[in-house]
Every structure is written in C-alpha cells, then in structure tokens.
Amino acid sequence: MTPSPSSSPPTKAAVSLARILLMLVTALVLIALLVPSDVLRFLRLQYRWLGAFVNVVELETLRYGINFEHVIAFVLLGAASRAALPYTSARWLLLWVAVLAVATELVQLWIPGRTPRMVDVLTDIGSALLGTWLAWLLRRLAAGSARTR
C-alpha cells in the first residue's frame, strides 16, 4: 500500500522507533497473556501500582462483560502495528493480529490458571482493528495539521 497523496510518508527514524515500540508492545502482550495466573497475582501484590491498575480494569470488565485487559493490550498492538508497518495492507495486519490472538488463547490450554476463550479472540481482533484505525486517523490528522501551517 502506498501513502495517499494527502499524507506525507513517515520518516525512517519514525518507522524505526515505531518498530521498536511494536516489539515492546508484542512482548508485553505475550507476557500478560501467557504468564500463569499465580505469577500475575504475585506481581500485583509486589507492585501496588500494577495491582491498582489491574483492579480498575477488572472492575470495568465485570461491569460490561468485556475483558478490558485484552482491549487495552490489542488496541496498543494494533496502533503500534500500523505505525511500525505503514505500507502494509490492513488485511495483513489483521492476519498478524488474528494469528497472535488465536495462538495466545490456544497456548493458554497448557498454562496453569488460564482459560482460553473464543470471546477473547474476537475481542482481541476487534480491539486491534480499533487500534489500527486510531493510528491511521491520528496520522491523517497530523498530516492535515502539518499542511495548514
């Protein structure tokens, strides 16, 4: 996919930084989704700030029935993917996220205290699409404001 005429292409430095961010976000998502639940419980007790954040997210999850931990993780993953791979088609980004979502849920079959759920896969894919769209929108808005200066 080539950049649209209304937006300027990202610089090499911006893409390199976005790729580092993508690797970091991917690693954090994998850790969060593949660590046994007793390890996560231990980390929440050891690091109060992490526990406080996760408690708020879990309250919202209980209220709305959507796993907001997955939403946050995959919105960030989708946005980082779009920023790091600006010329990759949306179909390939969707495939990358879908494979990651399915793989992380399947691996949870063998992780103590974790339960794979199809709704999590669907939440992950939808959230990544939202993140991809938000990154695209922010880039368009930034290109528009740069043109008006």
Digit-coded pLDDT (tens) for 68-101 = 889 999 999 999 999 999 889 989 998 999 999 9
pLDDT at 7: 60
How far, CA to CA in Å, does 115 sit from each of 38, 86, 137? Answer: 13, 34, 34
> Which position has the higher pLDDT, 147 or 52?
52
pLDDT at 109: 93
Q: Is residue 117 part of a domain?
A: yes
The C-alpha atoms of residue 38 and residue 123 are separated, in whole angstroms, by: 24
Q: Determine the average pLDDT of the residues in 7-25.
A: 88
Helix (H, G, I), strand (E, B) or coil at 10: coil
Q: Is residue 115 part of a domain?
A: yes
Q: Is residue 5 part of a domain?
A: no
Identify whether the C-beta of residue 120 lies closer than 8 Å to the C-beta of residue 105.
yes
Q: Is residue 101 part of a domain?
A: yes
Boundaries of domain holding 126: 12-147
Which tokens in the block code for residue 73? Answer: 């993780």
Q: Is residue 6 part of a domain?
A: no
pLDDT at 146: 67
Q: Is residue 121 part of a domain?
A: yes
Q: Is residue 135 part of a domain?
A: yes
Residue type for position 142: A
Q: Is residue 93 part of a domain?
A: yes
At 1, the pLDDT band (50, 70, 90 cuts) reads very low
Number of domains in the chain: 1
Q: How many CB atoms lie within 10 A of CB 38?
A: 10
